[in-house]
Structure 1
Amino acid sequence: MRFPISEASPVRFGGEAPKACDVVVLGGGVIGVMTAWFLAEKGLRVTLCEKGRIAGEQSSRNWGWIRQQGRDMGELPIMMESMRIWKSLAQEFGERLGFRQEGVLYLAKTEREMAGFEAWLSEARAFGVDSHMVTSGAVAERLKGSVKGWTGGLLTPSDARGEPWAAVPTLVEGAIARGAVVLENCAVRRLDRQGGRVTGVFTEKGRIGCDQVVVAGGAWSSLFLRAEGVAIPQLAVLASVAATEPMAEVFAGNACDDDFAFRRRQDGGYSIAPGSGHDFFVGPDAFRNIGVYLPVLKKDFRSTAFKAMAPAGYPDAWGTKRRWGGDEVSPFEGVRVLNPAPNMERIGRVQAAMASAFPGLGRPKLRAAWAGMIDTMPDVVPVVDRVAAVPGLVVATGMSGHGFGIGPGMGRVVADLVAGDAVGHDLARFRLSRFSDGSRLVPGPSL
């Protein structure tokens, strides 16, 4: 059982590449799509180039959570703006996005976990979130038929859910309607630079002249940037997800503890996943960045399974080419859509945990299972910044599994950054120089 978006999925957005535009956006995930949307709204000529399919990778393979809860304080104001944008998008596109504000509930097994929730809430209150702590009894009332006996939880009623596989392909239609050009099966191979400044890109469909380029390539961003002499300590971890057959509703929103996470789906089933735990393929970048990742590994070591090597062609596979020219076939053309096999052992444990917590439901039956590669950073917050060494180059990557929900707000921010307009938020937390200026990296919340 595999997720339906793959290299075999039909190309919806083809055609010839334009000879020139103002901005090229690299990557057809939610960040790239919404950046193109807002750039087009500003009247800029924008071309979005996607090596495979729109939302073919993590933007359609995530949990579908649209949450303010548990956000890093640097992200929270942008996420709150994003929630406002999601609501306006739902008015434009209706049920196609699957947007519903049914709340997010984090579940605590211990008083220590409750203290962690409270610590986050004590900071977040200053931003005006509607999050609040809930008691064990209140959790039992909200989760119909639960017998687990959680200590309590953290609830944000205004948080929401969406259907990623449907939402992002729908949003790209909005970007096109506003004037963006979108090209699938169009890998950007290299930048074209004159005097160090961006003057265009070389794609598999030819050169596109432009003054600015936005790299929003998800798990592929580091590979592209390193070929251009720009290093970011980005790694990719595999996250497994499954969709159940229709089941009785125990909660209309999204909930999780460290054993399982679930989101109600439009089809009456749930998207389910491990509450914590990923698989990591060890490759050259892992060794290159081991020092900067040690604090995170110490924190999450027990929930990470290390694999000896990635499948051939993956961004950090041992055999993946690291150097190529603008007139050469690039690694991005070798794997149009990352479509890793899910860890069914992990999914099986999720099924068992849900059956134990909700015995009336029985063991969830699966309709499909899939996996995606999450682009992560050592402090679990993205890079959103101009590259000082390469005028005209903007990086918007490393969303660390949080990109779907924040995508509309972050797209607006990146578009203003490109246009030279006031972004309205403090982006210091996301600066590229934090990896080279001696700053102490502080990981975001692990909620």
Structure 2
Amino acid sequence: MTTTLESITTDNVLPASTAVVIIGGGIVGVTAALTLAERNIPVVLLEKGHIAGEQSSRNLGWIRKTSRHLHDVPLALAADRLWAQMPERIGRSVGYRQAGIMFLAKTEKQMAMHEDWLKSVAPMSLDSTLLTPQAIDARVPGGRGDWAGAVFTASDGRAEPAIATTALANAAIAKGANIIQHCAVRSLSTAAGKVCGVVTEKGEIRCDQVLLAAGAWSRRFLGNQRISLPTLPLICSVLRTQPMEGPTDIAVGAPDFSFRKHQGGGFVITQRGKLDAPLSLDHLLIGFRYLNQLRQQAGFLRISLGRYFADDLTMPRRWGSNASPFEQHRTTNPPVNEQLNQDALSNLRQAWPAFNQASIAESWAGLIDVTPDSNPVIDRIQSLPGLTIATGFSGHGFGTGPAAGQLAADLVSNTKPIVDPTPYRFNRL
């Protein structure tokens, strides 16, 4: 994980009861806890490891509307508003800046995809525009790339994953939420066909509602409850440079690299053209649901059979009230693919020679849970009243996290939702 992740001190006393239990201390679960606390609804958030220890601190920090599906844009717009209000809401900055995001096209075919996307979101009246090669050079000077064009959204932005979720968690605690780290939830308690509590490694908590926001662990947790959530793993490797002078504050994504300014003065860089796709037993169980994605992303995914498959195969999929897999695996730390990081840096240097001076400060990798349509599930589970899930964000949960967490809190508390939740219904999968 990134060495800049802020730590947080939380309570370790398990209460006997509460109104809502949240499972998972990523940005979505933490934002939901903050929202409920602001509404004076008693809430306990339980995290098996430490707050933001997995993908919520390992992502790129991009906050974008660009290239989102039309039905997903309202959530991104709501997130923009919440990110902008964050300093006033929680009393500190989380590095949010609307510096813009630009996606470059190397070929006319790639440019046509940007054009098609822009037409598809025309009803939303976004500030996205198509750029010529000359306009790219004006906004990101010093480049040598032979670009066909780009799509640029000035109101897109970034924040710092290493501090955002921790800052939100501290604010939630200050407003009355109870957050407990290093406490894994083993299973749900039910009575008369409804949720009535959770069983943890430290004991049981009675509650009226449970929100599962456990990221890549959600499928395994739900499987133990006989609920099938289709998600598969991807691994993204990332690097951060030492402080350096760069060509722009705009976040830039090319077909085979991306970069954005880090508040520490360096740049966060990844290989946008390739992700590691470690095979698991789930590929055999539900892989057929992803055939369309595989056809569209041939060459994008680096499929491998190795340590991940063996570890996944030996991890229990059913357990009772005894120790769960979540106690043996507090934090997922995928190995960094240094070759992909070096590829990204090499490709970036060819396009913008200013990065020839870049030296690597650190690198890390994160595990992403991907749904068949790359959109999350934020919904009540009809087969088990009292259970709501917010998971499967497919690599873009950080950007929409504040709005996704609030939407989950809205569903849990039966409040008018911040956006129409229909696109995120569980039954679509």
Q: Shorter-chain TM-score: which interval?
A: over 0.9
Match of 2:355 in 1: 361
- In the other structure, the counterpart of 2:421 is 427
* One of 307, 319, 322 as aligned partner of 1:324: 319
Structure 2 residue matching 1:138: 3-state secondary structure:
helix
Q: Name the CA distance, whole Å, in 1 between partners of 2:370 and 2:266.
A: 29
**Residue 53 in 1 paired to residue 47 in 2?**
no
Q: In the superposition, relative to structure 1, how do residues 58 and 335 fare at CA in structure 2: closer, same or farther (>3 Å)? A: same
Paired residues of 1:245 and 1:366 also in contact (CA < 8 A): yes
**Residue-pair matches, total:** 429
Residue 290 of structure 1 is matched in structure 2 by 287
- Quick one: distance in 2 between partners of 1:185 and 1:334? 11
What amino acid is aligned across from residue 104 of structure 2 in structure 1? L
- Partner Cα separation in structure 2 for residue 67 and residue 206 of structure 1: 40
Map 1:29-48 to 2 at 5 A.
29-48=26-45
Match of 1:337 in 2: 331
Q: Aligned-pair distance for 1:363?
A: 5.5
For structure 1, the residue ranges without an aligned partner over 5 or more in a row are: 436-447
| Residue 298 of structure 1, CA deviation | 1.1
In the alignment, does 2:378 pair up with 1:384?
yes
Give, as a single letter, the amino acid of the residue that structure 1 aligns with 2:314.
Answer: G
Mapping of 1:68-107 within 5 angstroms?
68-92=65-89, 96-107=93-104
Instruction: Give the direction of change, closer, same or farther, for the CA distance of 1:429–1:312 in structure 2 (3 Å limit).
Output: same
Cα pair 1:14 1:185 within 8 Å, conserved: no
| Secondary structure in structure 1 of the residue aligned to 2:77 | helix
* 1:441 matched residue in structure 2: none
Partner residue of 1:110?
A: 107
Aligned pair partner of 1:122 in 89, 95, 119:
119
Cα distance in 2, alignment partners of residues 407 and 385 from structure 1: 15
Structure 2 match to 1:442: none
Alpha-carbon separation, structure 2, partners of 1:46 and 1:34: 12
Match of 1:305 in 2: 302
What is the percent sequence identity of the aligned residues?
38
Q: CA deviation at 1:235?
A: 1.1
TM-score (norm 1): 0.93
Provide the C-alpha distance between the structure 2 equivalents of 1:56 and 1:266, rounded to a whole number of angstroms.
20
Preserved CA contact (<8 Å) 2:104 2:149: yes
Q: Which amino acid aligns with 2:38?
A: E
**How far apart are residue 93 of structure 1 and its match?**
5.1
CA displacement, residues 339-394 of structure 1 (integer Å, 9 cap, x when unaligned): 11110000010111111111233163100000000011010001111111101010
Match of 2:273 in 1: 276
Among residues 144, 147, 153, which one is paired with 1:147 in the alignment?
A: 144
User: Which residues of 2 match residues 259-274 of structure 1 at below 5 A?
Assistant: 259-274=256-271
Q: Which runs of 5+ in 2 are unaligned?
A: none
Does the aligned pair in 2 maintain the 1:352–1:363 contact within 8 Å?
Answer: no
Local SS of the residue matching 1:301: coil
Any runs of at least 4 consecutive aligned residues in structure 1 with deviations exceeding 4 A, and if so which?
Answer: 92-95
Looking at structure 2, the residues matched to 412 and 418 of structure 1 have their Cα atoms a distance apart, in angstroms, of 10
CA distance in 2, matches of 1:288, 1:385: 23
Q: Which moved more, 1:110-119 or 1:194-203?
A: 110-119
